[in-house]
Amino acid sequence: MCIINLFAMSTLSASLLLLSGQSVAQDPHHSMPMSQQSGQAIEVHEDHSQHHQMATEPQPVVQQEQSNSDGTDHASHIKEHGGQVYQQTIFESKWLRNEDGEGILQSELVTRIGTDENKFFIKIHADQAESQQAEYDAKLLYSRMLSDFWDVQAGLRYLNNQNREVDQEQVGAVIGIHGLAPYFFETDAYLFVGQDRQVSFSLETERDVLLTQKLILKPYLDLNIIFSDDSNYAQKTGLSTAQLGLETRYEINKKVMPFIDVAYGYKNGQEETAGQPSLASENEWLYGAGIRFKF
């Protein structure tokens, strides 16, 4: 009986051991050695770290073709930001009379062409008094932008006065600034240097005051100062001429603008030379009307 029980116990133990070996063989994690399991875990961790690093690090951006950035795009950028060439011409003519009934026709042509940074100006001014020939003042200027509101200008000045017996034509140098003074006063200030030690300074400033979209007031100030003059038609040094006025214009459109003008003027005398007698200074009121074209 003991032998039978021992045989039964041995058979049961062998069966249990056989079943345990089959379950372990079917489980790959239990069948793999610990060293191999640790190596696989390290590899999985390294792969995950590499993937995380690739996701967080900035990736190099593929550069665009240089033909677009250096060619068309650059040209269009310049054109959009002040690089375009533009042209504008203003022509003005007005008739003024003083208190003695003497009249003078004043005409002016201003043309500019170029970009916002670099441009050329042509300015021609003509004065023709009654029973006299016209006097011309022409300037060719190169203008370079200094800031958003100011340009520096330099060039040549040509004077022509057929009423003189000598020195009818003169050429000199000019340098100055053009721009907007505080409170939006458009300003031109020039220094002139010519032959016979002629050195002078001119200032022109004006501002538009809108009453309506078409009716506009424009106060203005024009003055000339003589520093030195040894010519045959020398002007006295100091303030040579000054004119303070008020222009009222009506803009039919942006191209045609008639106006009326009222001003008070001062004119210094001239020195006595071989070509002219001495004259005293004088003050006078000026009245007139004119028209301005812009295109």
Distance CA 46, CA 39 (A): 11
How many Å apart are CA 109 and CA 236, to the nearest integer?
A: 28
pLDDT in tens, the chain (295 residues): 444 444 445 444 444 444 444 444 444 444 444 444 444 443 434 444 444 444 444 444 444 444 445 555 655 655 555 579 999 999 999 999 998 889 999 999 999 999 999 999 999 999 999 889 999 999 999 999 999 999 999 999 999 999 888 889 999 999 999 999 999 999 999 999 999 999 999 999 999 999 999 999 999 999 999 999 999 889 899 999 999 999 999 999 999 999 999 999 999 988 888 777 888 889 999 999 999 999 9
CA gap 22, 15 in Å, rounded: 11
pLDDT attached to residue 279:
81
Q: How far apart are CA 192 and CA 170, in angstroms?
A: 12
Strand partners, 247: 218, 261
Phi-psi group of 40: left, alpha or beta (phi > 0 → left; psi -120 to 50 → alpha; rest → beta)? alpha
* Whether the Cβ atoms of residue 292 and residue 259 lie closer than 8 Å to each other: yes
Q: Is the pTM of this model over 0.85?
A: no
For residue 74, what pLDDT is reported?
Answer: 56
Tell the CATH topology of 85-294.
Porin (2.40.160)
**What is the reported pLDDT for 71?**
56
Which SS3 state, helix, strand or coil, does residue 216 take? strand
pLDDT at 146: 94
Tokens in use for 117? 């940074």
| Residue 204, phi then psi, degrees to nearest 5 | -130, 125
Is the Cβ–Cβ distance between 104 and 129 less than 8 Å?
Answer: yes
Q: How many helices (H) and strands (E) does the chain have?
A: 5, 13
DSSP state of 61: P
Other CB atoms within 10 A of residue 140 CB: 14
pLDDT at residue 30, as a whole number: 43
Q: What is the pLDDT of residue 2?
A: 43
273: DSSP letter: B
Which residues, 6 or more positions from 177, have their beta carbon under 8 angstroms from its beta carbon? 146, 150, 151, 152, 153, 187, 188, 189
**Among 135, 137, 136, 138, which Cα is nearest to 163's?**
135
Spatial neighbors of 102 by CB under 8 A, at least 6 apart, are: 129, 130
Buried b (16+ CB within 10 A) or exposed e, 10-22: eeeeeeeeeeeee
Q: Distance of alpha carbon 104 from its chain centroid, rounded?
A: 37
Nearest to 264 by CA among 280, 287, 248: 287
